[in-house]
Structures are given as structure tokens and as C-alpha cells.
């Protein structure tokens, strides 16, 4: 398995983990775009959001639950934060293992670039 995020899950590649349970892992983005920039990933390899199947419905909810927990822990929940999942190249997806970006700690622009 050559997937970068699967290697982070297996600890083959180090990451600054902020949350982990049986199904989900969250770690700091290597190239942060905001004071808080965390990636939340399922331990199951799913390449893009287009590959989410019925059996993953609960898992996707758990990604958001983890994001909420981290946002509260980092004290950014009330001020506001953004969760983003890019799908395929034109949206900016570069790692083909789904991940929710949690961005916070500065005012966000809308529409996003």
C-alpha cells in the first residue's frame, strides 16, 4: 500500500497526532494554512469522497464528530471553524485517502479560492 495517509495510520510515517480511536485518526497538517489546521481521516482507505459507500455512512459521521471534539478542545468551536473535503484534482485534492481539513484561528474568506 503506497498511500501516504495509510502509512501515517500504520506509524510508518510520523505525524503529530491530536486524536485517535479505532476508526478515526487526526493529525496536524504538515503545511498549515491557518493557525489550526488538522486533518481528520478514516482508518479505512477510501480514495475520494466519490468512493464513499452506504457502509461508510456511520464513518463519515464519526469524522465530523472527531472534528467537533478537536474544535472544542482547541477552543475554536464558538468562534468558528471550517471543515473541507477536496475531491479530485481541480478541487485541490493531492492525497487520495479522504480527509477532512479542520481550519480555524483566523477569519476565513468566502468564496474559497
Task: Report 28-57 residues binding ligand 5GP (CB under 6 A).
Answer: 28-31, 39
Query: How far apart, in whole angstroms, are the C-alpha atoms of residue 7 and residue 13?
Result: 6
User: Which residues does the annotation mark as catalytic?
Assistant: 99
Q: Which of 9, 24, 25, 27 binds ligand 5GP (CB under 6 A)?
A: 27
Task: Report 34-93 residues binding Zn ion (CB under 5 A).
Answer: 45
Query: How far apart, in whole angstroms, are the C-alpha atoms of residue 112 and residue 47?
Result: 23
54: number of Cβ within 10 Å: 5
Contact 101, 83 (CB under 8 A): yes
3-class secondary-structure state, position 34: coil
Query: What would the x/- binding string for ligand 5GP be over residues 7 to 26, using CB under 6 A?
Result: ------x-x-----------
The item of ligand 5GP, Zn ion, none sharing an interface with residue 97, based on CB under 5 to 8 Å by kind, is Zn ion
Contact 24, 38 (CB under 8 A): no
Residues that bind ligand 5GP (CB under 6 A): 4, 13, 15, 27-31, 39, 86, 92-95
Amino acid at each position: 500500500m503506497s498511500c501516504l495517509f495509510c502509512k501515517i495510520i500504520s506509524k510508518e510515517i510520523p505525524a503529530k497526532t491530536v486524536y485517535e480511536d479505532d476508526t478515526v485518526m487526526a493529525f496536524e497538517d504538515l503545511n498549515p494554512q491557518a493557525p489550526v489546521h488538522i486533518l481528520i481521516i478514516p482508518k479505512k482507505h477510501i480514495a475520494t469522497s466519490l468512493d464513499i459507500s452506504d457502509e461508510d455512512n456511520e464513518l463519515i459521521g464519526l469524522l465530523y464528530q472527531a472534528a467537533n471534539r478537536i474544535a472544542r478542545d482547541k477552543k475554536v468551536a464558538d468562534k468558528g471553524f471550517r471543515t473541507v473535503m477536496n475531491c479530485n484534482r481541480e478541487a485541490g485534492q493531492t492525497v487520495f485517502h479522504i480527509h477532512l481539513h479542520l481550519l480555524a484561528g483566523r477569519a476565513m474568506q468566502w468564496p474559497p479560492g
